[in-house]
Structure 1
Amino acid sequence: MTAPPAATAPLVSGEGREAALTTLFNTHYTGLLRLAVLLGADDAEDIVAEAFCQLHRRWNRLRTAEAALPYLRSVVCNLTRMRLRRLQVARKHAARTAELERSAESVALLHDDQRALIEALGRLSARQREALVLRFWLGLCESDIADAMGISCGSVKTHTSRGMATLTKIMEDRR
């Protein structure tokens, strides 16, 4: 009798860990970068780089290799949220507020219709924006979104529903 197949890949260490991290980076960097941009980060490259650094430091704490990508998504969401909060505080205390400019690379990648959607997403609350991006951009299920955002599935449904209603109104008003 043969042993049942393993449901998850075990963590590797040493050179195998470096190879796994390199593969993760090569496969998912662009998607994580887009996630950060869609969540409103003006320094998306720095956020994604920091997420990979945190994964590298905490690799041995992961239960399985499959937990790495959800971990990265969660870190990108959290770092973006933290930086946006810092910006809000800085704006409150600044004598003059200046409009944040996105990096030239991220702006060059966007078409006009995408820019309109990014602008509309920027007008949503942070939680609504996160829920919509994770749901419709990454195609995550409610439980994965709840894990990434650190909230309940019911809250995910609420933020998604309210975000879609607001986004629909904004896009209709644009026409």
Structure 2
Amino acid sequence: MRLALLLVDDLPTAEDVVQDAFAALLHRHGRRLADLDDPEAYLRTSVVNSARSVLRRRRTARAYIPERQHHVPSADQSVLLAETHQEVINALQHLTRRQREVLVLRYWSDLTEAQIADTLGVSRGTVKSTANRALNALGRQLEIPR
């Protein structure tokens, strides 16, 4: 749930993404779930791919609908994210999609570089360089000396 929330930045959408991933896993593998090598990795990859699809649809919809002038945060947003974390979340939104995915998988989900590479379908070197660039960009945005 947290992975989806950090990727799509919207609790109801994150819940839908996770529910759809579980439903697809059950529909596709059902009782043969034990046959999968790593069901957790399979589910995590499904969540990341579903989040990408949601973000792609949002981008397409925003191209046709003018953005609202004033963004009003949801009532539960302050409960979900402490004020100190909100600054980091806002800075994450300025990163590229892949950079955001790598950092969320690495620091929030505590995955190894190999697991992240598997989940995103990239090489370990790409994960390392993307994480380094993302951390540098976050440091500049948050004005943290490295």
Q: Same fold (TM over 0.5)?
A: yes
Alpha-carbon deviation of 1:54? 1.1
- Paired letter, 1:35: L
Task: Say which of 116, 126, 132 aligns to 2:97.
Answer: 126
Matches within 5 A, 1:1-175: 33-42=1-10, 43-59=13-29, 60=32, 63-64=35-36, 67-94=38-65, 96-98=66-68, 104-105=75-76, 107-172=78-143
SS of equivalent to 2:60: helix
For residues 53 and 147 of structure 1, the distance between their equivalents in structure 2, rounded to whole angstroms, comes to 22
- Paired letter, 1:155: T
Alpha-carbon deviation of 1:103? 5.8
For residues 80 and 89 of structure 1, the distance between their equivalents in structure 2, rounded to whole angstroms, comes to 14
TM-score by length of 1: 0.71
Distance 1:68 1:84, change over 3 A: same
How many equivalent residue pairs? 139
Kindly indicate whether the alpha-carbon contact (under 8 Å) linking 2:8 and 2:54 is maintained by their aligned counterparts in 1: no
| Runs of 5+ consecutive residues of structure 2 not aligned to the other structure | none
Alpha-carbon deviation of 1:72? 1.2
For residues 141 and 115 of structure 1, the distance between their equivalents in structure 2, rounded to whole angstroms, comes to 25
SS of equivalent to 2:122: coil
Distance 1:138 1:155, change over 3 A: same
SS of equivalent to 1:39: helix
Kindly indicate whether the alpha-carbon contact (under 8 Å) linking 1:124 and 1:166 is maintained by their aligned counterparts in 2: yes
For residues 92 and 71 of structure 1, the distance between their equivalents in structure 2, rounded to whole angstroms, comes to 32
TM-score by length of 2: 0.84
Alpha-carbon deviation of 1:63? 3.4
Distance 1:68 1:107, change over 3 A: farther
